[in-house]
Amino acid sequence: MRAAELVETVMARGACGRPNDAPLPDEWFRDDESDAEWADHAERLKAFCREVCPVMAECRELALRQGEGRSREDDVVRGGLSGFELLDLRVQDATRLRAEAAKDRSQLVEWRRYMAAAAAVHAAGAVITRPSAERSARARRQREAAVRRLQEVRQERRARARWTVAQQDDHGQADEALRRAREADRRETAGAGGGR
C-alpha cells in the first residue's frame, strides 16, 4: 500500500480516532513522566492498539515510513509500538523502507503530473467555449493535445499500478475534465452547424 492509502486507511478506521472510547490525542505522547510511569502508560496504549484497532498493521507501517521513533527519547506510541520499538524496527527493516519511500515519492510525482494534465484539459476546454475563441483551430488543437497528454499519463499509470476501484475514484476529476471537453466539442459542432 502506498503512503497516501495508508494515511487514508488509518484516518478512516484507526481506533484512536473514535471520539468516545479512545485515549485523547495528547495521551499518545509521553508527558512529564518517569521512565517507569511512561512504561506503564505506553503498555496501556499498546494494549489498546492490539485489542481494539482494526488497522494496526497499516498504522505501524505508516509510522515506520514517516520515520517515527527517536533514539534520544521514547515518547510516543503508534501502531501498537513505543517510539524505541519503532526505531528498532526501522533499523531492522531499513532496506525495504527505503524502497517503499522511493515508490511513495514516485507516486507523488506521478500524481502531480496526472493532475497537471487533467487541469490542462480543463483549461483548454474553458478557452474553447468562450464565444470569441469558439472557432479557433489553435484552441481546438491545444485541447486535443491536452487530452492526448492526459491519456498518455493515465496509460502510464495504469501500466505501472494495479488497477483498482480506489484508483478509478482517483481518476474522477480527470474523467470530469474529459467529459467537459467532449461536451464543449458537441456544443461547438452544434453551434457551427446552426450558423451555416
Among 69, 79, 83, 125, binds ligand SF4 (CB under 6 A): 79
119 three-class SS? helix
| Nearer to ligand SF4 (CB atom), residue 15 or residue 146 | 15
| Nearer to ligand SF4 (CB atom), residue 19 or residue 131 | 19
Q: In angstroms, what is the minimal distance from the CB of 28 to ligand SF4?
A: 6
Under rule CB under 6 A, residue 30 binds ligand SF4 = no
In contact, 58 and 1? CB cutoff 8 Å:
yes
| Nearer to ligand SF4 (CB atom), residue 12 or residue 165 | 12
Q: In angstroms, what is the minimal distance from the CB of 59 to ligand SF4?
A: 3
**Strand 77-78, strand 81-82: pairing:** antiparallel
Single out the residue of 117, 106, 69 nearest to residue 89, CA to CA.
Answer: 69
Torsion sign over Cα 144, 145, 150, 154: positive
In contact, 162 and 105? CB cutoff 8 Å:
no
In contact, 53 and 59? CB cutoff 8 Å:
yes
| Nearer to ligand SF4 (CB atom), residue 31 or residue 175 | 31
Under rule CB under 6 A, residue 53 binds ligand SF4 = yes
Residues of the shown chain interacting with ligand SF4 in the complex, contacts defined by CB under 6 A: 10, 14-16, 48-49, 53, 55-56, 59, 78-80
